[in-house]
Amino acid sequence: MHRLRRRGFLAIAGASLATPALAYPERPLRMVLGGPPGGLNDIVARALAQPLGTLFGQSVVVENRPGAGASIGATFAARAAPDGYTLWLGIVDTQAILPTSMRNLAYDPDHDFAPITFVCNAPFAIAVGPSKPGIDSFEALMAAAAAKPEAISFASWGVASTPHLAMQRIVLPRRIDMLHVPFSGAAPALQAVVAGQVDCTALPVGGIAQMARAGKVRALAVLARQRVPLLPDVPTLLELGGELDSGIWLALYAPAGTPQPIIERLNRAAHEAMRSPEFIEVLRQQGAVPEPSTPEELGALGRRERESWAKVVRATGAFLE
């Protein structure tokens, strides 16, 4: 993702644009997300809401609306008044995967949302738990999985979720059949691996690194272009002969129809908030860095990602009703 240079607030010229922009915001905002408290998008939302609220001089309240692969929250945000007081922290699942995997989805990512800015990407790491003590490398995991169909199980946060499809992108070219065990979120999925109920998982590197440091899981590979500082001794999949670069990306949107001067104000304010040392530190703990973008860049990214993930959905038949 192209990273923009630092820039401060710019005055919006033109009398016709100045009035709504200068009057905004006059009351607290809410940032809606589709995940439960404690998840990665919740952590990022709360870290972003604080400096954003300081810049605006208004509270930014985080509102969790989990369920149905985060589509409940997305639908709620899409139907909110387009006045700039409801923000949507979308993820790759809601903006790129569900539109291709869920039939009768109640929102359209292009027509129901106005892009504001890309926020960050947190790469995945593959880890095994205590149920497989002899598996200490990615190659050993693949060999064990290839030995017998569904001999190895893996956890995700739901059917057609990013972790589910990322793992499928790894095993399908190898003609390996692993047993998918979906959970209601990243935390319960990881806990199931730690408890030995499921053999392995591919989840955001922050949670994996924490459990690896505690000796509760073994990290085998990271799905990133280069090694991640949280797991400096863990090779990338590229080093191991694979090509997958995958993780969960997060981006900020408003309901479609939100006035352009407000979108521009939100874009500038979000970029300023993302330069906060506290926000940068929260992302560092999750293996991510801020990646601000223009609204146009974010819109183009969403379209490219939908095309890419649609191929995986079709290949796996991971469709949802």
Structure tokens at 148: 């017998």
239 occurs within a structural domain: no
Could you tell me the CATH number of the domain that includes residue 215? 3.40.190.10
Is residue 78 domain-shared with residue 152, that is, in the same domain?
no
Query: Stretch 171-198: mean pLDDT, rounded?
Result: 94
| C-alpha–C-alpha distance, residues 6 and 131, integer Å | 47
Q: What is the pTM of this model?
A: 0.89
So what's the pLDDT on residue 20? 44
In a domain, 228, yes or no: no
Same domain, 25 and 117: yes
Residues 118 and 157 in one domain: no
Query: Are residue 78 and residue 143 in the same domain, yes or no?
Result: no
CA distance 40 to 122: 9
Q: Of the candidates 222, 256, 271, which is a domain's last residue?
A: 222
197 and 102 within one domain: no
The per-residue pLDDT for range 74-96, each reduced to its tens digit, is 999 999 999 999 999 999 999 99
Owning domain of residue 192: 128-222
The answer on pLDDT for 9 being more than 60 is no
Residues 182 and 99 in one domain: no
pLDDT band of 22, cuts 50, 70, 90: low
Q: Is pLDDT of 308 > 50?
A: yes
Instruction: Establish if 3 belongs to a structural domain.
Output: no
Is 8 inside a domain boundary?
A: no
DSSP for residue 93? I
Number of domains comprising the chain: 2
Q: Above 90 in pLDDT, residue 33?
A: yes
How is 171-198 classified by DSSP, letter by letter?
HGGGT--PEEEE-SSHHHHHHHHHTTSS
Q: Quick check: 41 and 122 in contact, CB under 8 A?
A: no
Same domain, 183 and 210: yes
CB 126 within 8 A of CB 138: yes
